Structure 1
């Protein structure tokens, strides 16, 4: 077992460990079944300009997927006959297969599917979800309160994640509803601190896996002198404080 596989196991058990897994993945070399235009036989390291052919497998629904592996033993367990394989940086693999679905460690106890939008986000932000910024164009009256069903799993995962980000001084939660929009009420997580971009990116990766089903979640930056949503969040009390 290598460090990447250990991070995958941790991530499968704890949502708060998933950002660390994505960071490890984007810095790691992985194994794929395939060959280049170099002489056949055994392991190859990918050289610049080499032509690459990668194995495509089929999922249960018949759709194609490219398998890749955290370590050589995982690859060997997944195949029935000797075959050529390549070692290359995960980032390079994602770049050359962009738009394709990949599966990490098929036929193993611990694995993960990566769909195209996740791969795009990993290449662009280092996390599997992109945090989209919005600007409120006009003053809007919204209803604020606490959720009737508290998102315990999401909040606990954030409590585990945020101590690794000293930039976050506090985090808050509320439910926001715009009656005029007709949209579903939104959970709002407020972050207080400075230089919050990385913390919010990682929090987004945690929230997407732990928020209640079909429950949208917005992030806001809370200013200690702010009003509106930020003011309400501060009054309601933090679920996390450094």
Structure 2
């Protein structure tokens, strides 16, 4: 076990509960971490107290599920021995295995991370696990192409989404390919029944399609989780040679809410504990 990595993951988890900006990074770190589950392998030892079992290739294992009022049953798993000891008796055995392996082998089940922890716990439903295994953070944003001249209404939101902007600013500070970000409210009467928030992005050139999709997935997850009320959020790329329409409004009539700072990017530890 690596207690330092476990402490870092749990600290990030605690931040992610209240600040959506940290959720994509927490999920990435969790997927790369080892976790603990209540259960046993096909070894025949008799557990006298809490026993540790490391999963090896070809092992047959059994995981213990818990009854649950909402989901009938859930599978508990834990970020550390300390969190697990809060929830199980000393007579139960457990297994340490990669979180990604756990998600793959239990796919279709509902899991709960760190149940009975006073700091933070989280349910993982099958749809979310499916996204994580695909390297995504939620429903992928839909592309919308305007194929003809369209009149839209654009301005600043009457109720400025301060919390969402704060969380996106934290996220963008960790993404070196985001140069600047702008905000507006847009109403496309041909498409929408109500106005949507619009985030204009200036990105580095030459990014791969996969990297852009990854950015979109993170931004969409943080924006959606940060909104005080459910609504639509549109993303638009602001190219250097695009000086008309919506892009012209964002550049000429607004100030960016985020501009990339010059200098060396903060490391993960510095960002986590700053």
Shift of the 218–39 alpha-carbon distance from structure 1 to 2, 3 Å rule, reads farther
CA contact (8 A) 1:168 1:191 kept: yes
2:111 pairs with 98, 102, 114, which one? 102
Q: Which moved more, 1:103-112 or 1:210-219?
A: 210-219
Please, which runs of 5 or more residues in structure 2 have no aligned partner? 1-5, 261-274
Could you say what the CA RMSD is over the residues aligned between the two structures, in angstroms? 2.1
The TM-score normalised by the length of structure 1 is 0.89
Match of 1:240 in 2: 258
In structure 1, C-alpha distance between the alignment counterparts of 2:96 and 2:162, rounded to whole Å: 40
Distance 1:214 1:116 in 2: 22
**What 5-or-longer segments of structure 1 have no aligned partner?**
none
Instruction: Give the C-alpha shift of residue 133 in structure 1.
Output: 3.9
Q: Does 1:173 pair with 2:183?
A: yes
Question: Deviating runs (4+, > 6 A) in structure 1?
Answer: none
**2:240 corresponds to:** 224
1:184 paired with 2:194, answer yes
CA distance in 2: counterparts of 1:216 and 1:47, whole angstroms = 46
Aligned runs of 1:46-65 on 2, under 5 Å?
Answer: 46-65=55-74
1:161 aligns with 2:166: no
Whether the 8 Å CA contact 2:196–2:233 is kept in 1: the answer is: yes
* Contact residue 162 and residue 199 of structure 1 kept, 8 A: no
2:37 is the counterpart of 1:32: yes
**Does 2:23 correspond to 1:18?**
yes
1:178 positional shift: 2.0
Pairwise CA distance, 1:58: 2.9
Q: Provide closer, same or farther for how the CA distance between residues 162 and 34 of structure 1 changes in structure 2, counting only shifts above 3 A.
A: same
Distance 1:124 1:183 in 2: 32
Deviation of the 1:206 alpha carbon? 1.6
**Which residue in 2 is equivalent to 1:214?**
230
Q: Which of 101, 115, 136 lines up with 2:145 in the alignment?
A: 136
Q: CA offsets per residue over residues 190-227 of structure 1, 9 Å max, x none? A: 21012362443332232221023211212221112223
**Cα separation, partners in 2 of 1:237 and 1:71, compared to 1, 3 Å:** same
* Equivalent of 2:87 in 78, 82, 104: 78
2:14 aligned residue: 9
Q: Is the 8 A contact 1:37 1:50 kept in 2?
A: yes
